[in-house]
């Protein structure tokens, strides 16, 4: 059995626990990284995860906004809950997990959305997003013979032309502006990260993980964006098998606007 990691912006883990349960029962990933849990740590639905076989739970939450959590069928060791930009937002959690004789450092990120106006001079949320991505330069894809790094999460940037439904129409829309996509790709490369969702995939193939709530018919208009990502250190690319975007989850009852991405590795 391959080793599998799922990432999903769940937009309230308590409200959507039935959807999480469905994912875990249908796909049984070894590890699940959640973003936008919107759940203080003392209210995290630990018992529900345990009942589903995910007994190893790490969370970095806060009241009302943001929040990330990583749950697993196997032991995980909390490494860090990093604060960015000097702000006490819960947007990062890293854990160590063993797979196939390797110690994997797994980063779970929720990057700021950045507001509506793509001008850092008048929009402090956009300024914060750019600063956050700049600080992510410190997160490196460390690896050696017995270890590797994986970074997943809602990074709120669709970096490539075919990561959005219309490149031209989104050039001034936050998530796909040139300053975001340029800085984002530079940060990824500087850290030594490989974009696994584009690894061996033609650059002209559309890939989406998010569809707005505001569309009348999200599936018919299909105006999606690739905001969720799976990166790895270069020594894991030969062990990377494939990944699946669970597009159908966007059509589940009371869905998140993001769908799960499940990556599989030839580990174990």
Partner DNA sequence: ATGGTTGATTGTCAA
Paired with 31 in beta bridges are: 5, 72
Residue 75: closest CA among 47, 94, 60, 54: 54
Asked if 122 is part of the footprint of DNA (rule: CB under 7 A), the reply reads no
Using CB under 7 A, which residues numbered 153 to 172 contact DNA? 156
Asked if 14 is part of the footprint of DNA (rule: CB under 7 A), the reply reads yes
**CA–CA gap between residue 45 and residue 42 (Å, rounded):** 9
Work out the angle between the directed axes of helices 178-190 and 124-135 (0-180°, nearest 10): 20
Q: How far is the CB of 257 from DNA (least distance, A)?
A: 7
Asked if 12 is part of the footprint of DNA (rule: CB under 7 A), the reply reads yes
Asked if 200 is part of the footprint of DNA (rule: CB under 7 A), the reply reads no
Phi, psi of 21 (to 5 degrees): -60, -40
Asked if 66 is part of the footprint of DNA (rule: CB under 7 A), the reply reads yes
Q: How far is the CB of 63 from DNA (least distance, A)?
A: 4
Q: How far is the CB of 112 from DNA (least distance, A)?
A: 5
Q: How far is the CB of 78 from DNA (least distance, A)?
A: 23
Q: Is 70 left (phi over 0), alpha (psi -120 to 50) or beta?
A: beta
Site for DNA (CB under 7 A): which residue of 33, 38, 71, 95?
38
- Which token pair is 149? 């790094």
Using CB under 7 A, which residues numbered 100 to 119 contact DNA? 112-115
Paired with 78 in beta bridges are: 95
| Cβ neighbours around 213 below 10 Å, total | 9
| Cβ neighbours around 9 below 10 Å, total | 23
Q: How far is the CB of 215 from DNA (least distance, A)?
A: 8
Binding mask of the shown chain, residues 214 to 243, with x at each position contacting DNA by CB under 7 A? x-----------------------------
Q: Which residues bind DNA (CB under 7 A)?
A: 11-12, 14-15, 36, 38, 63-66, 112-115, 125, 156, 213-214, 254
């Amino acid at each position: 059995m391959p080793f599998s990691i799922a990432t999903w912006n769940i937009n309230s883990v308590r409200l959507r626990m039935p959807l999480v349960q469905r994912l875990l029962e249908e796909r049984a990933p070894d590890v699940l990284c959640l973003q936008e849990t919107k759940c203080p740590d003392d209210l995290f639905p630990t018992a529900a995860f345990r009942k589903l076989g995910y007994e190893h739970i790490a969370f970095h939450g806060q009241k009302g906004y943001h929040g990330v959590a990583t749950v697993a069928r196997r032991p995980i060791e909390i490494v860090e809950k990093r604060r960015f930009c000097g702000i006490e937002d819960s947007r990062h959690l890293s854990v160590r997990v063993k797979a196939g004789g390797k110690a994997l450092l797994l980063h779970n990120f929720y990057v700021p959305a950045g507001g509506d106006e793509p001008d850092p001079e008048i929009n402090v949320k956009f300024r914060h997003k750019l600063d956050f991505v700049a600080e992510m330069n410190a997160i490196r894809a460390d690896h050696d013979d017995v270890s590797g790094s994986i970074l997943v999460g809602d990074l709120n940037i669709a970096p490539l032309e075919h990561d959005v439904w219309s490149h031209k129409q989104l050039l001034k829309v936050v998530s796909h502006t040139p300053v975001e996509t340029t800085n984002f790709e530079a940060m990824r490369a500087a850290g030594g990260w490989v974009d696994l969702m584009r690894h061996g995939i033609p650059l002209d193939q559309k890939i989406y993980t998010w569809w707005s709530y505001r569309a009348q018919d999200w599936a018919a208009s299909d105006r999606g964006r690739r905001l969720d990502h799976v990166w790895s250190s270069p020594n894991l690319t030969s062990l990377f098998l494939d990944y699946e975007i669970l597009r159908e989850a966007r059509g589940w009852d009371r869905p998140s606007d993001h769908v799960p991405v499940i990556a599989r590795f030839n580990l174990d």
